[in-house]
Each structure stands twice: as C-alpha cells, then as structure tokens.
C-alpha cells in the first residue's frame, strides 16, 4: 500500500441544537440580531485548528481601505482569468457573477474587478466568516456551530459552480479546500465489507483535492481514473455528488459509477462511512443527489483502471454555407452514438461557420471506431467543408490530455451562466437532421460534450442516485451566456430570456428534458425532473432522514422547493 493519507479523527460529535434552531423558519444571517456574538465566534475559534477566515471579494484588493499594497491589486488583475489562483481564495467564484448579490429591485451589490466603473466595493454575495477545515474535527465543530445558531451554511472548495451553490450573502462558510489528503491502495476493501468481498485498486482523495492532483496521483501509481476536463475542479465535492462526467466516461462510466466509498460529516455532526455495505441509502443519494445537500463529504474513494495507450484527435471544419453546416452536423450527430459505443469521447464546438473538436480514444478503441469516423470525414469533404485533421499518440490518457486540459484552467474570471440539456441517443439515431437544426439554431451557440453512451448507457439507471436520463444521452450540449461587469440587471435579464428560449428549444431532443446537474442554469421550470428525474422522491426522502432540519440547502437542490427564492426562509 502506497499512502500519504493522514487519517482524521473518526469520532462522532453530538450536535448541540438550540431549541430556537428547531423552531426557526428562517436561517440566521450576519445582518440579523440572531447572528452569533463575538464571544461565540471566539469560542468557535478556540475549537478549530486554524484561525477563522473572513472571506472578501478578490477585487477588494484594488479598493480602499483594502489596497494597502499595489502589488496585491496587480496580482488580482493579472490572475483574473486564472482558475487555479481563484480556487485558492475563499471569497472567489469561478463565475464572478456569483460573487455579486442582486436585490429584488434590481440593484446589484458587488466588488467589481473593473475599478474604472466607479462603483464602491461591497461584500456582495460573499460569505462573511467561516472555518478553514483541516480535519474531520474541524468540520464537525463548524457543522455543530452552524446547526446551533441555524446559520445559512455554505460548503465551498473551489467555487466551480454555475449555480453559485457554494456562496451566499450573510452566510457562514465551511471551506474544505485544504483537505488535500491522497492515498492509493491496490487492495482496497470498503468498510464493513465481508471477508470474501472484492478488493479494488483504489484512490482516496480528500475534500480539497483537485483533479490535477488526483490525476497525478493515479498516474504515479500506474492507474487511470475518470475525472473532469478542468484540472482545477474539486475531485471530491460537487463533481462526484452531481454525477461527474469526463472523457473516460464512455469507457468506464460516470464519476458516480466509479465511487466505492464516501466519508461524510452529517448534519448532526456524526462522522460516517457510506458504501455498499453500510449507510447504503446515503451512499446511493450521494452518487448524483447533488453537492451541499446530505452532509459534508470528507473523502471519496474511486475505483481506478488500467492505463491504455491513447490517441488524441483534432479536426476542424470550415463551412462555406449554412447548408453545408446542416448536412455535416447531421452526419456528426448520426455518427456519435456508434462512435461512443466504440469508446470514443470528445468535445465539439459547433456553429453555422465551423466545427472544432478534441477527441480521445484508446488504441483498441481507435481500431473499433476508425471505420465509423473516417467515412464521416470524407463525407464532410464531399459536402463542401474545408477539413483539417490531426492525430497524436501518447502512452496514456493522462499524457494525451494534459496539454489540452491545462487550457481549461482559464475558463473563469467573468460573469457566466450556462443553459444545458442532454442530447438523446434515440433522437440522434432517429432524428439527426432535427437535432442538428436545433443545435445550430441557438442564439449563443455552444458545444457538445459527447461523454455519454458506451459504458454510461449500460449501467443500471437505478443503481445510483444520478438522473436516469444520463443513461439515454450521447452527452451534454452547453450554451454559455456572458456579460461585462457592471451590466444593469434589466440587460442581464434580457440575455437570460434569450437563453431561456434557447433552453426550451433543446427540450425536444433531450431525454425527459434532463441535463447534467453540475453544469446547468438557475431558471429551470422543473428542476426536480430536469436534474433528478424519477429518483427525486427517493432522494428527498433520504434527505429527510439525514438532514431533517435542512441545515444543507442549495439552489435547485433536493428539498429547495420548500424554501423561498433566497433559500433563507421556509415556505411552510
């Protein structure tokens, strides 16, 4: 066994709920009289391993009285688009719009990076105080404190979230970013398993581990692991709890299909291990029921896989006419179900003017997929597209993907929202022309993450909590919406209305109007169905068992329909 895992305190701590917490209908915010006193926070500070943190918007370094050093402002401006830098700050979000707060009258409270706008710097949507957790005990103390005073609690690691679930105005933050423990075990046995249980070549990652760190650890042990394309995404937080998709998914399934075990601090402060042998209902819910919903995940143990030589393929197609785009994208859509069943995966940036793509396949999959892929390239040329292709072989998926994955480290630093939908395997096979027409007709364009099919579609839809719609999809089509800092709320809402119309147009080509929980919009008409499908009722029942007082509430999460728009007060 090769390990650098630092075992945390496994002791359960009884939660101290106040009578008021049981009876409260609203969370306690920093602006309210119920907020803990300085002496309460002093007592909290004495119980945790690190000083309490006071998150601030990153741009505050450029405003008085915070700008004590010109270098700090220059650093902020220089790293604005650097996701890795942003994830190291408790007050930063990858999509900067979630650092801002919009009041009901449309007024925006924020700290803009564009100082020349002349707007004063305010706290915005950034939580005001929190615990920098370095151990299970730290998490238990923070959870018990939040429960005692019924605080609005946010759990944050990296801030990768297109629905802003890890930030809230006037909230108390539990920051898991420094839980960086990693351990590899080539004969891992889940806790509570019988003596004859199967063993796994497994990688266990702490709540703060990011995918660049997890990939490096797996590769160092001669293993491959299903993970995210963006290296700065957390490997043990919202990604696996929301399903977890990646370019190895057609070969090995979703992230949740590869999770062997979770360790979790529950709302009552208890530290438990959930797997196929104990806390089975919680284990099922954590595999797709959403982050920040059932407890605070301390670690995740993943099954790993044999390393395979891998080829990265790129093609670019330029379309001289929209009709050429329609014909070629139709052929692409028609091809993808078969290509992914041959265990290829890829990302395709689509427009009426061009396609650009990055595709991955093992050497074995190349032999299976080339008879499908090569005719598509020739058909595109015959249809009038200007086509360039490129292939490069590598000893593993890790080495093949690292150069490109590194570019995904610069996706944040601006106001961004997404609209997304699964693209149905059935629609792709039976109505490829209609699918192509819809995708090419969106106002904001977008890209198709073709990471479904293959092994993803072969797994029992009810074996994990993630929406069954994943099993019917070739992948996720994503259309981003951007706007400059300082844009008035009326204009932002206009852009959102356009995006909402695009979203509706995607429904006919999507299985059950479903989409990937981790990459979606805040204006879903029926989030219960869209994110969770037929599993929603069971997920909500499990939440009522493990979080009966709703300490953990996030936007469009399980149980959030029982709360007002702000998620601060119960509706009944």
Instruction: Kindly state whether residues 376 and 407 are assigned to the same domain.
Output: yes
560 within a domain of the structure (yes/no): no
Half-sphere exposure of 121 (CA within 13 A, CB side): 19
Measured CA to CA, the distance from residue 309 to residue 173 in angstroms comes to: 43
572 within a domain of the structure (yes/no): no
**Amino acid 70: pLDDT:** 64
E strand or H helix at 520, and its extent? none
Instruction: Kindly state whether residues 219 and 81 are assigned to the same domain.
Output: no
E strand or H helix at 448, and its extent? strand 446-450
Q: What is the mean pLDDT of each run of 10 residues along the chain (572 residues)?
A: 35 38 78 98 98 96 75 88 93 96 96 94 97 98 98 97 95 98 98 96 98 97 96 96 97 98 98 98 98 98 97 97 97 98 97 96 96 98 98 94 71 91 98 98 95 98 98 97 95 96 96 96 94 98 97 97 96 87
Q: CATH number, domain at 222?
A: 3.30.465.10
516 within a domain of the structure (yes/no): yes
Q: What range defines the domain where residue 87 resides? A: 38-177
When divided into structural domains, the chain yields a total of 3
The last residue of a domain, from among 156, 177, 198:
177
Of the candidates 60, 54, 183, 149, the one whose C-alpha atom is nearest the C-alpha of residue 113 is 60
228-287 pLDDT tens trace: 999 999 999 999 999 999 999 999 999 999 999 999 999 999 999 999 999 999 999 999
CB count, 10 Å around CB of 133? 30
Instruction: Kindly state whether residues 369 and 497 are assigned to the same domain.
Output: yes
Of the candidates 99, 231, 73, 217, the one whose C-alpha atom is nearest the C-alpha of residue 156 is 99
**Amino acid 22: pLDDT:** 44
**Amino acid 407: pLDDT:** 65
Instruction: Kindly state whether residues 122 and 223 are assigned to the same domain.
Output: no
187 within a domain of the structure (yes/no): yes
Instruction: Kindly state whether residues 266 and 315 are assigned to the same domain.
Output: no
213 within a domain of the structure (yes/no): yes
The last residue of a domain, from among 289, 306, 323:
306
Residue 487 is encoded by which pair of tokens?
Answer: 């844009």
Instruction: Kindly state whether residues 325 and 280 are assigned to the same domain.
Output: no
Q: CATH number, domain at 100?
A: 3.30.43.10
Asked if 91 and 98 count as a contact pair (C-beta separation under 8 A), the reply is no
**Amino acid 412: pLDDT:** 83
The last residue of a domain, from among 306, 322, 346:
306
Instruction: Kindly state whether residues 377 and 519 are assigned to the same domain.
Output: yes
Instruction: Kindly state whether residues 106 and 211 are assigned to the same domain.
Output: no
């Amino acid at each position: 066994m090769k390990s650098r895992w630092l075992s945390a305190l496994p002791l359960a701590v009884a939660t101290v709920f106040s009578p008021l917490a049981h009876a409260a209908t609203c969370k306690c915010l920093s602006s309210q009289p119920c907020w803990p006193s300085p002496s309460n926070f002093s007592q909290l500070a004495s119980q945790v391993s690190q000083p309490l943190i006071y998150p601030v918007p990153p741009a505050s370094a450029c405003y008085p009285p915070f700008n004590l050093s010109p270098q700090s402002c220059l650093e902020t401006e220089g790293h604005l688009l650097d996701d890795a830098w942003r994830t190291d700050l408790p007050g930063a979000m990858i999509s900067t719009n979630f650092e801002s707060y919009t009041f009901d009258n449309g007024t925006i409270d924020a700290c803009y990076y564009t100082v020349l706008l002349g707007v004063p710097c305010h706290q915005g949507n950034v939580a005001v105080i929190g615990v920098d957790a370095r151990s299970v005990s730290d998490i238990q103390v923070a959870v018990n404190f939040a429960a005692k005073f019924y605080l609005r609690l946010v759990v944050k690691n990296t801030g990768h979230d297109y629905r802003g679930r890890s930030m809230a105005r006037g909230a108390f933050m539990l920051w898991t970013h420094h839980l960086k423990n990693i351990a590899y075990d080539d004969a891992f046995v889940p806790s509570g398993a019988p003596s004859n249980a199967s063993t796994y070549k497994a990688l266990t990652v702490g709540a703060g581990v990011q995918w660049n760190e997890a990939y490096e650890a797996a590769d160092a042990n001669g293993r491959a692991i299903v993970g995210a394309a963006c290296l700065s995404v957390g490997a043990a937080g919202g990604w696996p709890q929301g399903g977890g998709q990646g370019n190895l998914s057609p070969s090995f399934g979703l992230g949740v299909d590869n999770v062997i075990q979770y360790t979790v601090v529950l709302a009552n402060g208890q530290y438990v291990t959930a797997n196929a042998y104990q806390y089975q209902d919680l284990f099922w819910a954590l595999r797709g029921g959403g982050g920040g919903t059932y407890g605070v995940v301390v670690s995740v143990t993943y099954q790993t896989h044999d390393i395979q030589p891998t080829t990265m393929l790129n093609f670019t197609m330029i379309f001289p006419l929209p009709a050429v785009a329609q014909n070629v994208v139709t052929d692409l859509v028609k091809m993808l179900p078969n290509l992914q069943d041959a265990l290829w995966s890829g990302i395709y940036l689509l427009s009426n003017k061009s396609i650009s793509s990055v595709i991955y396949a093992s050497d074995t999959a190349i032999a299976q997929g080339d008879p499908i892929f090569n005719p598509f390239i020739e058909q595109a040329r015959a249809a009038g597209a200007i086509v360039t292709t490129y292939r490069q072989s590598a000893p593993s998926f890790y080495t093949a993907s690292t150069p490109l994955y590194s570019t995904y480290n610069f996706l944040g630093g601006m106001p961004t929202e997404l609209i997304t939908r699964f693209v149905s395997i059935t629609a792709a096979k039976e109505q490829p022309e209609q699918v192509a027409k819809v995708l090419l007709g969106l106002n904001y364009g977008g890209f198709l993450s073709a990471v479904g099919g293959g092994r993803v579609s072969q797994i029992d839809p009810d074996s994990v909590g993630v929406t069954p719609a994943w099993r019917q999809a070739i992948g996720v089509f994503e259309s981003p919406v951007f706007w400059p800092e300082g844009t008035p709320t009326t204009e932002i809402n206009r852009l959102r209305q356009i995006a909402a119309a695009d979203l509706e147009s995607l429904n006919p080509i999507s299985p059950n109007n479903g989409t990937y929980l981790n990459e979606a919009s805040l204006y879903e008409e029926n989030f219960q169905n869209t994110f969770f499908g037929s599993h929603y009722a069971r997920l909500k029942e499990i939440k009522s068992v493990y979080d009966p007082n709703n300490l953990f509430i996030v936007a469009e999460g399980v149980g959030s329909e029982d709360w007002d728009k702000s998620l601060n007060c119960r509706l009944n």
